[in-house]
Amino acid sequence: MNEAPLLICYDDSTGARHAVESAATLFPGRRAVVLDVAPAVTAQESLADLAPVIPNFEEINTADALSKARVGAELAREHGLEAEPRADFAAPTWDGVVEAANDLDAAVIVIGSRGLRGAREVFEGSLSHEVAEHAGRPVLIVPPARQESH
């Protein structure tokens, strides 16, 4: 059995939670690293450039990312994976994911998809597509969960 871990991208969204559950179903009992990549600067933080004292956003954002990754790792453990959290800081985000996968020599990157199409995908971007394009290793893009019909 391949000893390389799964790398599961996690941002505490519905799609990320679904990706964790799917990874646990497809790769039961595997070792996994649950990653959240902190952004360089959020929209709110960009306004802080006007303030006299500028906080260390890298440190703040990385701490927030680690907090989310811990939640994701706990979810992964609840679903039977041997999981540990990891936070990185990168812009663009896909670069941080690819760098972490390379660092871990991940067997596969698991990432949720928001299911955007057309103009929304063009304007909002698709992290999952960028990761798949640049990863150079298998990427499992987990689509949004189907809505049950009543």
Give the helix ranges, DSSP H, for the chain.
Answer: 14-26, 43-47, 57-78, 93-104, 118-124, 127-134
Q: What is the pLDDT of residues 91-126, one digit of tens each?
A: 899 999 999 999 999 999 999 987 555 444 444 458
Residue that is written with structure tokens 């996690």 in the block: 10
- Determine the pLDDT at residue 61: 83
The reply to whether the predicted model has a pTM over 0.85 is: no
Q: Please give the average per-residue pLDDT across 5-19, as a whole number.
A: 95
Is pLDDT above 50 for 19?
A: yes
Residue 61 tokens, joined: 């954002």
Q: Distance (Å, rounded) from C-alpha 130 to C-alpha 84?
A: 24
- Determine the pLDDT at residue 124: 47
Q: What is the pLDDT of residues 20-42, one digit of tens each?
A: 999 999 999 999 999 999 877 55
pLDDT band at 144 (very low <50, low <70, confident <90, very high): confident
pLDDT band at 134 (very low <50, low <70, confident <90, very high): very high
Q: What is the pLDDT of residues 39-91, one digit of tens each?
A: 775 545 444 555 555 667 778 888 899 999 999 999 999 999 999 999 998 88
User: For residues 133 and 92, is the Cβ–Cβ distance under 8 A?
Assistant: no
CATH code for the part of the protein at 6-142: 3.40.50.620
Q: Which of left, alpha, beta for 56 (phi over 0: left; psi -120 to 50: alpha)?
A: beta
